Every structure is written in C-alpha cells, then in structure tokens.
Amino acid sequence: MNLITGVYAPTSGSLQFKGQDISQLDPHQRSQLGIARTFQNIRLFGNLTVWQNLWAARVVRENGWAGFRERWLSGAAAAREQAEELLEFADLAHKRDMLASQLAFGEQRRLELIRAAATNAELLLLDEPAAGMNAEEIDDLDARIRSLRDRGRTILLIEHHMELVMGVCDRVTVLNFGRKIAEGTPTQVQQDAQVRAAYLGADETATA
C-alpha cells in the first residue's frame, strides 16, 4: 500500500494504474488519479472537526489549495451535499462539529473511511480497518465496506480478521512471511493446504 500510494518509492519494477505508470508520481498526484487509503494507525486531523476532515480531503481532487480556499469561503453545493451524504453514511452527522480527536475509537475509524471516500477515489486501499474494533463494530464495518463496493468503488483490503475478509472479498491473496502462498476465491483459499498449514498449524505433508 505504501508503494501504491507513494509513501515509498519502488527500487525496481513499475506501478500501473488505469494504464498509466504512476511510479514517479507524488502521493497527491496519485490521489488526483483516483487512489485513496486509510491507515492501520488512524491518521485523522485531530484538531479539525469531523466536517473539516471531510472538506480537507477534497483538496487534492479539485484545483489544489486555491480550489480549497474558494470552496471553504463560498461553499460549493455539490461538495457540501457529498459531505452531508458521507456523514449520514457513517452515522456521524450529529458530530459534525466535534473535533476528530474527541470521537470514540470506532467513530474515528468510520471518519477515516469516509474521508478517503470523500476524494471520490475509484480505488480505496484499507489497511487493517478492523484493528482494535469489537465484534459489533466489525459487523458494522463489514456492511459499510459492502455498501462502498456496491457503489462502484474498487477496494483493496489488508486485514487479519478472517471473518471480515471472507465476508467482503471477491478474491483473496494470502502472504506468509512476505511470500504469496495462495490466491483465489475465499472458498478456494480456505481449502488451500499451504494456507491451512501456515495459519492453522496443520501438517503441510498431510493430505487435504
């Protein structure tokens, strides 16, 4: 994810997105092309309100900081309408004026998710979005990810919570110590002997 979003530069090879080589682009340029992410460790603007976090997310998509200032002062109707819809989607409309740092943990997770969505990204990269969540919050997250997918977003998910992975993913890739050991549908991956050996402690030589 760090390579795809431009946090790290590749030492070899190239990164292609929609037929374009993005290997040398800055993170904000990649976002302008339609790539956004969340982080395993939440990285909200804690001293900005919930609303301001969403508003700031649109900066890289529309004319940079000049466009941001113009919208902030004049208020673009479409941008405001989208922000309102996202607040309702995340059940945060009633906390729009609260500082992000004052939200409960699960609410911060939801805010980071809709902040990424506010960029109108076609590709959303979610880095362990269920980390630190309880079972009820994970079920809620499952429904929200499905909803974003159904709205036409492509989602790349890194996650250790297997029920969430198997529930929302169309295809699953399994890594073991950085090496890909399996790829396929959730059912295919669950039945893979190498996956069972690596994650369930099964005997690799045993007949599946």
Over the stretch 97-137, which tens digit does the pLDDT of each residue have? 999 999 999 999 999 999 999 988 999 999 999 999 999 99
pLDDT in tens, 184-202: 999 999 899 999 888 766 6
Q: What percent of the chain has pLDDT over 70?
A: 87
pTM, 2 dp: 0.84
Q: In the 8-state DSSP scheme, what is residue 18?
A: T
Residue with tokens 């969430």: 164
178 located within any domain: no
In a domain, 198, yes or no: no
Residues 73, 89: contact at Cβ < 8 Å?
A: no
- The percentage of the chain sitting over the pLDDT mark of 90, rounded to a whole number, equals 70
DSSP string covering 22-71, please? -TT--HHHHHHHTEEE--SS----TTSBHHHHHHHTTGGGTTHHHHHHHH
The pLDDT value recorded for residue 124 is: 96
Which tokens is 137 given?
A: 């919050």
For residue 202, being part of any structural domain is answered with: no
The pair of structure tokens assigned to 16 is 């292609």
User: Does 148 score more than 80 pLDDT?
Assistant: yes
In a domain, 36, yes or no: yes
In a domain, 200, yes or no: no
Domain assignment present for 180: no
Is it the case that residue 203 has pLDDT exceeding 80? Answer: no
Asked whether 97 and 84 are in contact (CB, 8 A), the reply is: no
Q: Is the pLDDT of residue 1 over 80?
A: yes
Residue 172: beta bridge partners?
184
Does residue 184 fall inside a structural domain? Answer: no
Task: Report the number of distinct structural domains present in the chain.
Answer: 1
Place of tokens 């919930």: 50
Report how far residue 109's alpha carbon sits from residue 10's, in angstroms, rounded to the nearest whole number.
Answer: 29
Residue 188 lies in a domain: no
Please, are residues 113 and 126 in contact by the beta-carbon 8 Å criterion?
yes
Which pLDDT does position 207 carry in this prediction? 44
Tokens of 187: 């059912």
Tell me the CATH number at 55: 3.40.50.300
Mean of per-residue pLDDT scores for the chain: 87
Domain carrying residue 163: 2-169
Q: How far apart are CA 107 and CA 196, in angstroms?
A: 34
